[in-house]
Amino acid sequence: MYRLTLFHIVWFLLFTFCARAQQQDNMDKFVSDLMTKMTIEEKIGQLNLVTGGEAITGSAVSTGVETKIKAGQIGGIFSMSSPTKIRAAQELAVKHSRLGIPIIFGMDVIHGYKTMFPIPLGLAATWDMTLIRESARIAAVEASADGINWTFSPMVDISRDPRWGRISEGSGEDTYLGSRIAAEMVRGYQGNDLTANNTLMACVKHFALYGAAEAGRDYHTTDMSLHRMYNEYFPPYKAAIDAGAGTVMTSFNDINGVPATANKWLMTDVLRKQWGFEGMVVTDYTAVNELIDHGFGDLQTVSALALNAGVHMDMVGEGFLTTLKKSLDEGKVTEQEINEACRLVLEAKYKLGLFDDPYKYCSEERAKSEILKPEHLAKAREIAGKSFVLLKNENQLLPLEKSGTVALIGPLANSGPNMPGTWSVSADLGNTPSLLEGMQVVLGNQVRIVHHLGANLMSDAKYQERATMFGRAIPRDERPESEILAEALEVAKSADVIVAALGESSEMTGESSSRTDLDIPDTQRRLLDALLKTGKPVVLVLFTGRPLTLTWEQEHVPAILNVWFGGTETGKAVADVLFGDAIPSGKLPATFPKNVGQIPLYYSAKNTGRPLAEGAWFQKFRSNYLDVDNDPLYPFGYGLSYTTFAYSDIILDKNSMRSGDKIKATIALSNTGNYDGEEVVQLYIRDLVGSVTRPLKELKGFQKVFLKKGESREIAFEISIEDLKFYNNNLEFVAEPGDFKLFIGTNSRDVKEATFSLR
């Protein structure tokens, strides 16, 4: 039986290898045959990615779209949806262009399509890889049902600066967590068969280092060592590529003085030669044209530089379309470079099955039956609830009783369009329930809810306008602030408890939404202070797309529930958690600083040659500040529950290992509180002596564990040599013999310790 089983395994692997080789041969032959029929202008046309245009949508940045499609001058269209519109555009290409090459249709499907899930930073806070993959799978089902076959996601940029608005789009500060999530998102989008009509080709972005923009200012310069690149910022991109991501998008920033879109070392040496990526590279929006402002020449020059670097598709700018033929004639680009770019675009379409059936994503029946399905909404509600992070719960104020009167007060209490968060471009904002509406649905007549605006989002109308872009206006009262506040306090008098819905609006984070002040806006802080002075218990429901500076709130507010922006079902999910139908289990994927001056602040920092003594606030001639300690307000991995968990000491099955060995680390986890609940058990490792400076801690594993109240369970991790490897100064991926510390705990700060060695 053993031999038979082994035979079948070998036979299956051989069959799979041969089948894939045959598929590759078939694709190579098809694309090669097609390219022999194409003119150089048609090949260049395949490299042109535009917005919808007047032929389909009536209004877009790109112009003359219909004419260009018929002329074979467009390879892809983005930000167009609905089977009818996409079929119309596809028919122009298939029936009216000379060779009938189908178009690929993309969209920023970032955290859901019509059914919106938490913003990516919130998804990361679930620490639940199964749910994250399911969210991407549902997004793919819905978007593909509406005609789309390519998503500009996942965004895997590591960011340790919450001033940067796009931190909301990624998975936070950590390399390991970010890598795990990147791979799961790709698997969710692409499924097991890209030719199926319910999958999307993934596009990992932004390659590379975009999240490290100086001063947290979007599009700004990025400058770092190769050591930091390879060890801390590159791994999530590589994880997405190893998971099979079909495409990669360039970033806006420069790297070693060369913008990513023109950076041959990055796009060819690293991406293709070192990592073996075989797919297509697309620019971000007008990134080729922006090389001019970087100081790299005119449009013809920078377009040639981008193609030379290894970029294959030009988003919106049409530098490729309008200049590459001239550059070819002048010897600034080669026909081989154009052919290679064209081939990769055509291969992406082949992998999606578009040559077999260009209209496979154009089914009105699917659009009607597979979008906003009840089971999708139920999953969105579950995931939203698991993304919320309980930051404080003094005297077990939460969960609230389902009785009496609750005052729901704040500018975000009754603003449904803000619930999905940034980059929810396809969401039906007009039909998204607000927190007030969600609470009314969940609680029915059990609880009397009274509501008031309480304060405007901000005191400055100009900033108010900026924070409510894209039609997501939140209520604004033009009366004096004192008058609005007095009325809110009058409403609060009748309540047993106050729920304050405060924080950022959805578009205060995201692209081009950097901030230098990370406090809750001034008007809201004054409202919160006044609510606290009523003497009634106050729960802060905090909406945010980034870590905020909450030092004052942590000191004064008895309960704080960070709900990010939870998607379509935010209102119901918040009500579930506030009233105990769901137990919070989220953990922070990014450190919350005490003030902006500590930024960048992250758990995996280096020790320095003059470290501050543990537990010390200030020491002369040590690495610290005069006015604040080095500690965060809330550390990476932090999050409370309505129950409590106790960790035993760590037991190692041995104290040393060699290459090929594994060490098993075990703890006993006990639910010692009064509720069933989930805990994210986190494993960190520190390399105590190395050939280069090593971080104080690095996340190397985690398990999300459900325990009934009173239940205990043994939790085990296996540590292999792969967990100890890093890139040394020669960029060799090695594990060096020596001593290590191992930590297991509820967050990056509160841990048990053990030591072991690698021989």
Active site residue 33: no
Q: Let me know: does 571 contact 437? Beta carbons within 8 Å.
A: yes
Residues 6+ apart with CB under 8 A from 738: 687, 688, 689, 690, 757, 758
Domain membership flag for residue 204:
no
Alpha helices in 146-206 (DSSP H): 175-190
- Strands of the sheet containing 314-315, edge to edge, are 150-151, 104-107, 76-78, 48-51, 314-315
The HSE-up count of residue 533 (CA atoms within 13 Å, CB side) is: 11
Q: Of the residues 578, 601, 621, which one is the last residue of a structural domain? A: 578
Q: What is the mean pLDDT of the chain?
A: 95
Distance of CA 736 to the CA centre of its chain: 33
User: Euclidean distance between the first and final Cα of the chain, in Å?
Assistant: 39
What is the 3-class SS of 217-248, one letter each residue? CCCCCCCCCHHHHHHHHCHHHHHHHHCCCCEE
Which CATH number covers residue 752? 2.60.40.10
Asked if the structure places residue 623 within a domain, the reply is no
Nearest to 437 by CA among 478, 405, 408, 475: 408
C-alpha torsion 736→742→744→749, nearest 10: -90
- For residues 408 and 548, membership in a common domain is answered with yes
Four-CA torsion 645, 647, 648, 649, nearest 10 degrees: -170
Burial (CB count <10 Å: 0-12, 13-18, 19+), residue 478: exposed
- Do 422 and 433 belong together in one domain? yes
User: Are 180 and 127 spatial neighbours (Cβ–Cβ below 8 Å)?
Assistant: no
Q: Please check whether residue 735 is in contact with residue 724, taking contact to mean a CB–CB distance below 8 angstroms.
A: yes
Q: What is the distance between the alpha carbons of residues 654 and 668, in angstroms, rounded to a whole number?
A: 17
DSSP secondary structure code for residue 270 in this structure: I
Domain end call among 578, 608, 623:
578
272 occurs within a structural domain: no
Same domain (yes/no): 362, 464: no
In one letter, which amino acid is 73? Q
- Clarify whether residues 568 and 660 are in a common domain: no
**Which residue in the block uniquely carries the two structure tokens 């679930």?**
126
Range of the domain at 727: 643-758
Identity of the amino acid at 645:
F
Instruction: Please name the residue ranges forming H helices in 609-682.
Output: none
Q: Are residues 354 and 390 in the same domain?
A: no
Tell whether 565 and 440 lie within a shared domain: yes
Residue 127: inside a domain, yes or no?
Answer: no
Say if 491 falls within a structural domain: yes
Tokens of 309: 């670097």
Distance CA 266, CA 603 (A): 28
Tell me: do 85 and 24 sit in the same domain: no
In the set 108, 128, 174, 284, the catalytic residue is 284
Q: How many CA atoms lie within 13 A of 204 on its CB side?
A: 34
CATH number of the domain encompassing residue 396: 3.40.50.1700
Is 412 inside any structural domain? Answer: yes
Q: Do 437 and 571 share a domain, yes or no? A: yes
* Token output for 455: 């304060």
Segments of the chain with pLDDT less than 70: 1-17, 19, 53-61, 462-471
pLDDT on residue 60: 40
At 58 the pLDDT is: 36
d(CA 594, CA 634): 8
Tell whether 434 and 573 lie within a shared domain. Answer: yes
**558 and 490 both lie in a single domain:** yes
Q: Is residue 451 in some structural domain?
A: yes
Q: Which of 289, 285, 279 is nearest to 312 (CA)?
A: 279
- The contacts of residue 444 (CB under 8 Å, 6+ apart) are none
**pLDDT 10s digits, 610-633:** 999 988 989 999 999 999 999 999
SS3 content of the chain, % helix, strand, coil (to 5): 35, 20, 45
Last residue of a domain, one of 372, 396, 426: 372
| Residue 408 near residue 496 (C-beta atoms within 8 A) | no
Query: ∠ at Cα 400 (570, 439), nearest 5°?
Result: 35
pTM of the model: 0.95
The answer to whether position 43 is within a domain reads: yes
Question: Given the DSSP bridges, would you call strands 538-543 and 497-503 parallel, antiparallel or unpaired?
Answer: parallel
22 and 43 in a single domain? The answer is no
For residues 680 and 537, state if they share a domain.
no
Task: Report the domain count for the chain.
Answer: 4
The model's pLDDT over 358-375, given as tens digits with 9 standing for 90+, comes to 999 999 999 999 999 999
